[in-house]
Chains A and B, each alone.
Chain A
Amino acid sequence: MKQNLLLFTGFSILIMFAPQLLSGGYLMNVLVFVGINTMLAIALNLLLGYAGQISLGHAGFFGLGAYLSGILTTAYRFNPWVAMPVAAVVVGCMAGMIGFPILKLKGHYLAMATLGLGIIIFIVFNETVELTGGPSGLSGIPNLQLAGISFDSDVKNYYLIWGFTLAVMLFSLNLANSRIGRALRAVHDSEVAAQVLGVNARLLKVQIFAMSAVISSLAGSLYAHTMTFISPASFGFNFSIELLTMVVIGGLGSVYGSFLGAALLTLLPEILRGANDYDIIIYGGLLIVMVMFMPGGLVRGIPALYRKVIKQKGETGHA
Chain B
Amino acid sequence: MQFDQILQYTLSGISTGAIYALIGIGFSIIYNATGIINFAQGEFVMLGGLLTLSCLELLNLPLWAAVPCAVAVSTVVGVLFERLAIRPLRQPTPINLVIITIGGSILIRGLAMLVWGKDTHTIPPFSGDTPIAIGGATILPQHLWILAITLIIIVINKIYFYHTISGKAMRACSYNRRAAGLVGIDVRRMVLFSFIISSAMGAVAGIIVAPLTMTAYDVGVMLGLKGFCAAIIGGMSSGISTVIGGLILGVLESLGAGLISSGYKDAIAFIILLLIMFIRPQGLFGKADSERV
Contact surface of A with B, Cβ cutoff 8 Å: 48, 52, 54, 101-102, 104-109, 111-113, 115-117, 119-120, 123-124, 126-127, 192, 237, 241, 244, 248, 277-278, 280-281, 283-288, 291-292, 295
Contacts and interface: CB of A to CB of B under 8 A. Distances in A.
Nearest to A101: B278
Contacts of A105: 277, 281
A198 to B, nearest CB: 17
A190 to B, nearest CB: 9
B98 A54 contact: yes
Q: How large is the interface on B (under 10, 10 to 19, 20 to 34, 35 or more residues)?
A: 35 or more
A277 B217 CA distance: 13
B277 A285 contact: no
A237 B90 CA distance: 28
A127 B261 contact: yes
A116 B273 contact: yes
Given A105-B277, A120-B270, 17 more contacts: A52-B95, A102-B274, A112-B37, A113-B273, A117-B274, A119-B270, A123-B264, A237-B221, A277-B113, A277-B114, A280-B110, A281-B106, A281-B107, A281-B111, A281-B114, A287-B99, A288-B107
A233 B206 CA distance: 26
A287 B109 CA distance: 14
A287 B263 contact: no
- The DSSP consensus for interface residues of chain A is helix
Contacts of A295: 90-91, 96
B180 interface: no
Contact of A107 (B88, B94, B228, B281): B94
Contacts of A113: 273-274, 277
B263 to A, nearest CB: 4
Nearest to B293: A192
Given A123-B264, A126-B263, A112 B103 contact: no
Contacts of A109: 37, 277, 281
Contacts of A101: 277-278
B214 to A, nearest CB: 20
9 contacts: A105-B277, A109-B281, A115-B225, A120-B270, A120-B271, A124-B267, A192-B293, A280-B109, A284-B103
